[in-house]
Amino acid sequence: MQQIEKAGKKNVTRIFSFLKPLVFSFRYISAKKWFFVVLMIAAVISTVARLLVPVYIGSSVSGIESGNLSLAETFALLIIYASIISGVTRFGVNYIAQYLAQTYAYNLTGDLFSHILRKKFSFYESQTSGDLLSRGTMDVRASMNFIVSTMSQLIPTMLLILVSIYFLFSINPAYSLSFILAVPVLIYLGIVFQRKQRSHWRNIRANYGRMNEELQENIVGQRVVRGFTAEDEEIGKFTGTTQEYYSEYMKVARLRGFYNNLMPFVISAAATSVLLYGGYTTLIARGDVGPLVSVINIFTMMSFPVGFMGRLIVFSENARASIDRISVVLDSRDIEDPVAGEGSPTGFELTMNDVTFHREKRLVLDGVNLSVRRGEVLGIGGKTAAGKSTLVNLIPRFYDPDSGSIKIDGTDIRNFPLRELRRKVALVPQEINVLSGSFLDNIAFGNGEVDRDRAKWAADIAQISGFIESLPESYDSMIGERGITLSGGQKQRVGVARAVYEKPEILILDDATASVDPKTELDMLRAIKNDLKDLSILLVTHRESALKFCDRVLMVENGKLVRKETEEADVHEDPAVFREGGVNIAGDV
C-alpha cells in the first residue's frame, strides 16, 4: 500500500514538474501580479465564449431541423457575438502573456548580470566566458518562451478542458465519459514524453555552451590559430561539437513528431467513439441531432490545444535545462558583497601576518609575513609560476587567505567594504582589459565623474599622453574591442593610467610593464613616485632594471620567498644577492 502511495505521489510530482520554470519566474514578475489576475479573467471569458460557439452551432442545427428559422437566426447572431468576445479577450491574454514574459526576461537578465559581476574570482576558474554568455542569452530566451507559451496557451487549454467536461456533461453525461477516459491517457503520454527528452535537452544546452565557447576562442585567438595554420583542426573541432548539438536536437525531433501526433490521435479516437455512439442512439431514438453536432465540434476544437500540450512539454524540458544552468550563476553562496563592512582604508602601511592559502588541495602560500611601509617601493621578483601573483591578489581580496590576516594600518582588510578597499588598492595585471570606448572612458573607468584634466595627469604619469594627444580626437578617440588597435605596451600604459587616476593608497603592478621598454618603464615609475609621494607600491617584475628602482626586493625562487633588508645602494648594485628570511611560499600561481 505504501509503495502504491509513493508511486502515486511520484507521478503527481512528475505531472506538475513541467511547471517548474513558471514557478521560477514568479520572483521576477511578482510585482505585476495584477496583470496575471487580469490574464486569468480574460482567459476564463475567452474560453467560455469560445466553447459557446459549438454549443450555439448545435442549437442552431436543432432549430433548422425543427423548422424554427427564427431560433436558428438568433443562435447565428450569438455565434458572432461569442466569436467577437472570444477574439478580443484572446488578444488580451496573448498581449499580457508577452508583457509578463518580457518583464521576466528583463528582470532575470539584470539579475544574472548583477550576479556575474559579483561572483567570486574562484567561480570563473571553473567556467568559460562562452558558456556564461549562452546562459545569459539563449537560456534566458528558452525559459522566456516557456513563460509565453504557458500563459498564452496552457492556462486557456486547462480551462478549455475543464469547461469542455462541464458542457459535455450538461449535453449528455455519456459524451463526457468518453472525454474523461481520454484524459488519463493524455497525462500518461505527457509523463513518458517528458521523461524521454529531459536528458537530451540538458545535452543540447551544454553543447550550445561549448559551441559559444569554441566560437569565442577562435574569434579572440584568430592570430594564434592562423599563425600556427590550425584552421582545419579548429574547424573539425567545431564541426564535431555542432554535430553533437544537431544529433541531440534530431532525437528530440523524433520524439516530438511521435508524441505530438499521438496526443491528438487520442482525442480523435474519443471523438470517433462519441460519433458512433451518438449517431447510433440518435438514429434509434430518432432524437435531436443538434447536441451531437455540438459535441463533435467541441472535440474538434480540442484537437489543437491537446496537440499543443505535447509542444509545451518540449518547451518545458528546454526551459528546465536552461533554468538549471542559470541557477548555477544565481547561486548566492559564492557572491561577493561589495558594501559589507564599514569604514575605509585611510593608511598606506600594509602587513601580512602568517598568511596561508590553498588552491583546492594544493598549498600555495604558507605562513607569509610581510610589511610594506608608507611610500615604500617593494619589488617582488622570481621565476614564472612561483606564487607572486597569488600573493598580491590577496591584497584587494580577489581571494581570501585560508588563515592569517592582511591589514592596512592595523585594520584587517576583511573589515572594510570591498568597494572602499578596491578604491584604495589598485592592481594592474599583466593582461590588461581595455574596454570598447574612448581613451577618456577607459582611464576614468569606475569613477563616478569624468575629469579630463585628471585623466591627462594620469596619462602623463603612465607615459601614454603623447600618443593619445597625437590622435585626431585626442582623449575622445575610440579604442577597438579589447584594445585591438593598441600595442601590448600601450594597453599596459592605459591600465596604469586607469589605476593612478583613482589616486590609490597602495598600487600593485603585477608584471604590468612587461611589454613596455625599460626606459619608458623607469620614467613611469619615477613619475608615480614623484606625483604620489606617500603611495606604497608593490612591483612584481622579472626585470632587474625595475628591481633596482625598488627600496626592498623579495625574490621567489623554487617556491621559496627570500627576503633581505638592505640599504638602497646595495639593492641598486646587486638585487640578486639575498639571504633567507621568515617567509615561505610553495606551489604555483
3 lies in some domain:
no
What are the E-state strand segments in 392-502? 403-408, 411-412, 425-428, 437-438, 478-479
How many domains, in total, are found in the chain? 2
Q: How confident is the model at residue 293 (pLDDT cuts 50, 70, 90)?
A: confident
Using the predicted structure, report yes or no on whether residue 557 has a pLDDT greater than 70: no
Q: What pLDDT sits at residue 376?
A: 85
366 & 302 share domain: no
Q: Are 321 and 389 members of one domain? A: no
| Domain end (from 334, 362, 397) | 334
300 & 439 share domain: no
Phi, psi for residue 127 in degrees, rounded to 5:
-125, 155
User: Which grid cell sits at 465?
Assistant: 599622453
> According to the model, what pLDDT value does residue 552 have?
85
Q: Which residues pair with 362 in a beta bridge?
A: 359
SS (H, E, C) 10-41: HHHHHHHHCCHHHHHHHHHHHHHHHHHHHHHH
> Is the pLDDT reported for residue 2 higher than 60?
no
Question: Does residue 307 sit in the same domain as residue 413?
Answer: no
Summarised one tens digit per residue, pLDDT across range 322-349 is 888 888 888 877 777 766 666 666 666 7
Q: Which residues does 448 contact at the CB level (< 8 Å), separation at least 6?
A: none
The proportion of the chain whose per-residue pLDDT surpasses 90, expressed as a percent, equals: 0
The pLDDT tens digits for 544-556 are: 777 778 888 887 6
Domain of 218 in residue numbering reads as 19-334
Of the residues 300, 334, 368, which one is the last residue of a structural domain? 334
278 and 398 share one domain: no
CATH number, domain with residue 204 = 1.20.1560.10
